[in-house]
Amino acid sequence: MFILPVSRFRRPAADGGKILNLRKYLCRANVGALPFREPRTSGQSALFAVKQFINFLFRHNAWMLLALLSALSLLVMKLEREEVPQKLLEGGLAFRAGLAEQFGQIAWRLGLSEENGRLMRLNATLLSQLLQRESELRQQQQLKALLADPAADADGYVVARVVERTFSDRENILIINAGKLAGVRQGMSVLTPRGLVGRVVAVSNQYARVMPVIHTDFKVGVTSSKSGSMGVMSWNGGNEERAFIEHIPQSSPLEVGEVMATSGVSTFAVEGIPVGTVVDIQPDRLFSRVEIRLAVEFSSLGHVLVAPLQRESEVLRLLMREEPDKEQ
């Protein structure tokens, strides 16, 4: 039993195949008794040295394994700058980068709600800026349209901007930034190129208050551009796009679609200012009940024109029953 077959070392141990159990196996194989005998021949000496080495390995197997693995690690550290390991490492880095990108996307999705909130705030800011720019552009276009209107060139017309508006379902008020210093006076008509807006009811030095068409106290004489039918326009509240014309006889040839404009019997308005378009005619007791769509869109009112009171002295004095001789 001096030479232990190699196959017996490789044989799985009966008690689990653990490395430490090989030592027991060697002891059972009576190899362990050898070192205690004095080597007599050169062969016995060699076997003794091998056995001593094996015993040393098994006694310090953990340290040996540590040394082996550490040496391998150090060798890899030295060799990993070489070409082949470098390519291997590059492949590993690419794999890791791919995984890291996936993890990064997950983290990005987790933080998406915060990003959404930031974008929403940014959207709100940009939207407000855009609306402001659009509003300014619209005002400029309105101003250009006013200046291009032939009426604006006439003497006494004042261009003003609506600076304040109070809308309700019955009483609406506009404030324009032109007052006494600009030549605006109480009773002047206010209009846009589209049609009649209202009349000035109060004036300060810098501003004027305008009672718009969509006010329940507002009334103005109107006439049809086609059939010549005359009536009085008023607004009953509610829809800001619709108004009614009273005192239209049922015999009137007025038809749907005709444009109604201010008439010459108005005490304040210049004749011929469009007011609206007839959209419905219903017979009533004595007169027809005519509904019109107003010409002016009050929701987008920007700049307006204030027309002069050209007929003031003529009409008002007649209404006030004054003598013509005392006018002068």
Partner 1 sequence: MSRNLFIYTLYAVAMAILQATLMPHLALLHAPVDLQAILLAFLAVMIGRNGAMGFGFLGGMVAGLLSGEMGLQMLAGTLAGFVAGWFHIPEGSHATPVQKARKFIEATAAACLVASVVMLLGNNPLGLSPAWRLLVIAPLSTLLTLLPAFVASRFFIGSAFSD
Residues that bind partner 1 (CB under 8 A): 16-17, 19, 61-62, 65-66, 69-70, 72-80, 85, 88-89, 92-93, 95-96, 99-100, 103-104, 107
CB of 55 vs partner 1, minimal distance in Å = 17
In the complex, minimum distance from the CB of residue 45 to partner 1, in angstroms, rounded to a whole number: 31
The DSSP annotation for 86-133 comes to HHHHHHHHHHHHHHHHHHHHHHHHHTHHHHHHHHHHHHHHHHHHHHHH
CA–CA separation, 268 and 186 (whole Å) = 10
Q: Work out how close the CB of 1 gets to partner 1 at its nearest, in angstroms, rounded to a whole number.
A: 28
Nearer to partner 1, 93 or 120 (CB): 93
Whichever of 2 and 95 has its CB closer to partner 1, that residue is 95
Note whether 261 and 269 are within 8 A (CB). no
Judge contact between 294 and 214, C-beta under 8 A: yes
Query: Least CB distance from residue 33 to partner 1, whole Å?
Result: 26
Nearest CA to 177 among 200, 208, 147?
208
* Smallest separation, CB 79 to partner 1 (Å): 8
Nearest to partner 1 of 46, 68 (CB atom): 68
Alpha helices in 149-266 (DSSP H): 150-153
Nearer to partner 1, 66 or 119 (CB): 66
Q: Among residues 86 and 125, whose Cβ is nearest to partner 1?
A: 86
Exposure on the CB side of residue 77, measured as CA atoms within 13 A = 6
- Backbone dihedral angles phi then psi of residue 239, each to the nearest 5 degrees: -65, 125
What count of other Cβ atoms lies within 10 Å of the Cβ of residue 104? 11
Q: How far is the CB of 18 from partner 1 (least distance, A)?
A: 9
Q: Calculate the dihedral angle through the C-alpha atoms of 130, 131, 134, 138, rounding to the nearest 10 degrees.
A: -170
Nearest distance in Å: CB 9, partner 1: 17
Apex CA 45: angle with CA 41 and CA 49, to 5°? 170
Nearer to partner 1, 37 or 81 (CB): 81
Amino acid sitting at position 286:
L
